Amino acid sequence: MLSKGKFAQLTRAHFCPKDFGDVQWVQLPVHSPGGHPNLEQAMKKTDNPLDLFDFTCERLQATVADRLPDGVDPAAFCAETAYCICLAVTAQGESWETAFHKYVDTEVLERAGRDAESERRELDLLRIELAQARGPVLDVGAGWGRVAALYAQAELPVYYVETSVLGTRLMQRTGLKRIVAAQGEALPFLSGVFHTILIGWVLHHDAGDGNASRLLREAARVTAPGGLLLSVEPLDERFDRTKWTTLITQAGFSVCRIGAFYEYPRAKGSISSHALLVGTYLG
Ligand SMILES: C[S@@+](CC[C@H](N)C(=O)[O-])C[C@H]1O[C@@H](n2cnc3c(N)ncnc32)[C@H](O)[C@@H]1O
């Protein structure tokens, strides 16, 4: 199977031949935005996700960037918020204007400070876990490659699985390698080839239709016995600790520990917490 060691790389032989035809190795031409479309054009340009993303970043820069609290990196804030807005447009069919106003509401500045602090704590924890982890790593629902710098620091080879075209193109544009456009529920890898799995901010989107469960079972299938699972999710009354741990254990992972790294009060007195779960695949 894999050569031993942290730097082990997967080769094409580690992909399931039967699924290989469906895998889109992302080697699409990188779109270089020339000029800037006006709002009307951008709203219609959902077929060109990078255009829409760049336009949305620009609008955010112009609207909120100079009002962000200390400690919030404007470029990171705009990129993360633009990604969420664009996914709402391209994946959920919202109009650009509706999505933009939903994210850029009166509470945006308060949320920005909170999210930045939460992310700092999250990345500090992940950095520690990844420093002891073994590769290759599979990042399922990798988004725009937010965690990429940590993998590089830990010198871990990583495969980025992402279902949205925007995410895969953004990762490609930033120069990341081994980007696989696929659904987490149907991973194009042979069984037991990954030693570390990271699933960040994906499972809580579960609409109750079994998606999260299928994704975790697939993640378990491609994990080597004894492999490490790192799962990060925001918990509240809709997606709580019990639901999370039940999904994880039913997929075949054991839960070693859960640490809440950020908590804040929500409406009606409830608390939302952002937490990291560290698990092991029992095999
Ligand atoms: C909130 S973003 C988090 C991105 C990244 N994990 C991070 O922590 O920054 C969730 C991502 O998961 C992706 N996603 C959701 N369901 C997925 C699935 N079934 N398979 C693969 N990716 C999925 C979305 O397209 C989106 O990019």
Q: Categorize the per-residue pLDDT at 194 as very low, low, confident or very high, splitting at 50, 70 and 90.
A: very high
Q: Categorize the per-residue pLDDT at 265 as very low, low, confident or very high, splitting at 50, 70 and 90.
A: confident
Average confidence score pLDDT of the chain: 84
Say what the alpha-carbon torsion angle 217, 196, 171, 107 is, to the nearest 10 degrees.
Answer: 80
Which helix (H) or strand (E) is 24 found in, with range? strand 24-25
Q: Categorize the per-residue pLDDT at 5 as very low, low, confident or very high, splitting at 50, 70 and 90.
A: very low
Q: CB within 6 Å of ligand 1 — which residues?
A: 140-143, 146, 161-164, 167, 183-185, 200-202, 205, 211, 215
Q: Categorize the per-residue pLDDT at 2 as very low, low, confident or very high, splitting at 50, 70 and 90.
A: very low
pLDDT digits (tens, 9 = 90+) for 77-135: 999 999 999 999 888 888 898 999 888 887 888 889 999 999 999 999 999 999 999 99
Closest C-alpha to ligand 1, atom 24? 141
pLDDT number for residue 37: 38
Residue among 162, 197, 198 whose CB has most ligand 1 atoms within 8 A, to mutate: 162
Percent above pLDDT 70 for the chain: 83
pLDDT number for residue 105: 81
**Nearest-angstrom CA–CA distance, 157 and 138:** 9
Percent above pLDDT 90 for the chain: 66
* Closest atom of ligand 1 to CA, residue 184: 20
pLDDT digits (tens, 9 = 90+) for 126-169: 999 999 999 999 999 999 999 999 999 999 999 999 999 999 99
Closest C-alpha to ligand 1, atom 12? 141
pLDDT number for residue 47: 63
Closest C-alpha to ligand 1, atom 17? 141
Closest C-alpha to ligand 1, atom 4? 143
List the domains of the chain with CATH numbers. 37-104 (no CATH), 114-281 (3.40.50.150)
Judged by average pLDDT, the poorest of 25-29, 188-192, 261-265 is 25-29
Exposure string over 17-27, b if 16+ CB within 10 A, otherwise e: eeeeeebeebe
Cα angle value 134/138/141 (rounded, 5°): 145
**188 C-alpha vs ligand 1 centroid, how far in Å?**
17
pLDDT number for residue 23: 35
Exposure string over 200-227, b if 16+ CB within 10 A, otherwise e: bebbbebeeeebbbbbbebbbbbbbeeb
pLDDT at 258 over 90: yes
Q: Are 146 and 126 in contact (CB under 8 A)?
A: no
Q: Are 248 and 277 in contact (CB under 8 A)?
A: yes
pTM exceeding the 0.85 threshold for the entire prediction = yes
pLDDT at 12 over 50: no
For the residues 20-40, what does the mean pLDDT come to?
A: 34
pLDDT number for residue 45: 52
pLDDT number for residue 44: 52
